[in-house]
Each structure stands twice: as structure tokens, then as C-alpha cells.
Amino acid sequence: MPEQFFVTGTDTGVGKTVVSALLCAGLEAVYWKPIQTGTREGTDTKTVLQLAELPRQRSIPELYRFAPPVSPHLAAELAGVRIEMGRFRVPRTVKSKNLIVEGAGGVLVPINERYLMVDLMKWLKLPVLLVSRTSLGTINHTLLSLAALRSAKIAVRGVVLVGKENRENRRAIDQYGGQYGHVKVVGWVPLLRKIDRTALLRIFHNEFDRRAFVK
């Protein structure tokens, strides 16, 4: 069976795209960003393909694309469209391949007047990886996000930390994450001077618990 994950984060800019690129390289996965905002500044699909050094065919086109770098619900409103939950389906073309799906923003980012990003995760029925910072405040943000995911009855495969090593914050997330389905930290991405496929693969093999990525 292919390994398929939904990558979300505790916030915007937390490192979801770098983690997605790392997983696409490490798992030889296909990448899909269902909702992309801020296209005038570039796209996450382009970034992932560049960082992981993947061919274009290892990505699935976005279902919704918006130019302003704002929340999906507002970007859609400004464009005069509505993001429809019923249009989202796990791409059939990747049934036999590993798949990394990256969300927009954090767990409770609005998609339209009714649904949040967490509802999209539930709709797609994929296990979730939560990307968090290592810095001050991450314990609160991580546990709040895990609480929201558990409330929605979404399976969380683990937490991935990004940033300067902080063993105390990691220990706390491991300890208190146990209250939300025995969630543990399954990977750490340190600060990198250069991000390329070689660096990403090295981190995946050295800093990730690969048992978390196998059913």
C-alpha cells in the first residue's frame, strides 16, 4: 500500500513546504498542494520540485490558485469564487505511489464561510503530520493544534520539528502529546545553510523515525 500523508502546521511559514520536499525526496512521493494562495510570489509546488530535485510529473496541479498571499477563504472571496469541498479528491493517478499533500496555513485556517482546513483533512481521510517550530511558544501552539485534530477525529502520525535544536521543547511535546493519541515527535529538520536534495535525504535518514511512515 502507498504511504499518503497530509502535511499541516501550527502556523503559516512554519516549514511545511521544506518538510514536504524532504518527504517527497525520502519517500519518493508525488506532491500535491490542493489550495495555493500567493501565486504572485511563486508556488509551493515549484519550490518542492526544486528543493527535492523532482521532475514535473511528480506533482499534481493545484485545484485552486489565487494571487494574493492571504487566507484561502479571503483569496477566493477576492477572486469572486467559492472553494467547494466536494471538488477535492485524492488524485487517482497516485493510487500506486506515495503522496504528500500540503495544506495552506495552519489547522484552523478558513477555506470558505463554513469549512476550515481541518475539514479538508477529514474529507481526504489521510493521516496527518503536524509541522511545528522548535522555538519558544511551540509547546502551546503544538498542543492546541493536536487538540483541534483530535476533536475532529483525525489520525495524527506525528510531529515534525523545524529549527534550532531544543531538546526540552521536544521532550515536552513527546510527553504532553501523549494526551492526544500518543502523538510523538517523528522528525527534526535543523536550520540549513543550503537546502537541496542531498541535504534533505541526509536529514530524512538521520533525523526521522522512518517507522512512523510505514503502516
Total domains in the fold of the chain: 1
- According to the model, what pLDDT value does residue 178 have? 87
- According to the model, what pLDDT value does residue 214 have? 79
Q: Which residues of 56-94 are buried (b: 16+ CB within 10 A; e: fewer)?
A: eebbbebbbbbeeeebbbebbbeeeeebeeeebebeeeb
Residue ranges of the chain whose pLDDT lies below 50: none
- In the chain, helix, strand, coil percent, each to 5? 40, 20, 35
- According to the model, what pLDDT value does residue 147 have? 96
DSSP letter, residue 154: -
Grid cell at residue 95: 493510487
Selection from 50, 1, 98 nearest residue 196 by Cα: 50
Q: Whole-angstrom Cα distance, residue 169 to residue 72?
A: 31
- According to the model, what pLDDT value does residue 92 have? 76
Sign of the Cα pseudo-torsion (168, 5, 60, 105, in order): negative
The residues assigned a catalytic role are 33
CATH for 84: 3.40.50.300
Structural domain harbouring 43: 4-213
Name every residue whose Cβ is closer than 8 Å to that of residue 133 and which is 6 or more positions away in sequence.
Answer: 10, 11, 14, 15, 141, 161, 162, 163
Sign of the Cα pseudo-torsion (29, 141, 192, 49, in order): positive
- According to the model, what pLDDT value does residue 91 have? 86
- According to the model, what pLDDT value does residue 188 have? 98
Q: What is the pLDDT of residues 195-211, one digit of tens each?
A: 999 999 999 999 999 89
- According to the model, what pLDDT value does residue 194 have? 94
156: alpha, beta or left, given left = phi > 0 and alpha = psi -120 to 50? Answer: beta
- According to the model, what pLDDT value does residue 95 have? 58
CA torsion angle 58 70 185 152 (round to 10): -100
Name every residue whose Cβ is closer than 8 Å to that of residue 160 and which is 6 or more positions away in sequence.
Answer: 19, 129, 130, 131, 132, 185, 186, 187, 188, 189, 208
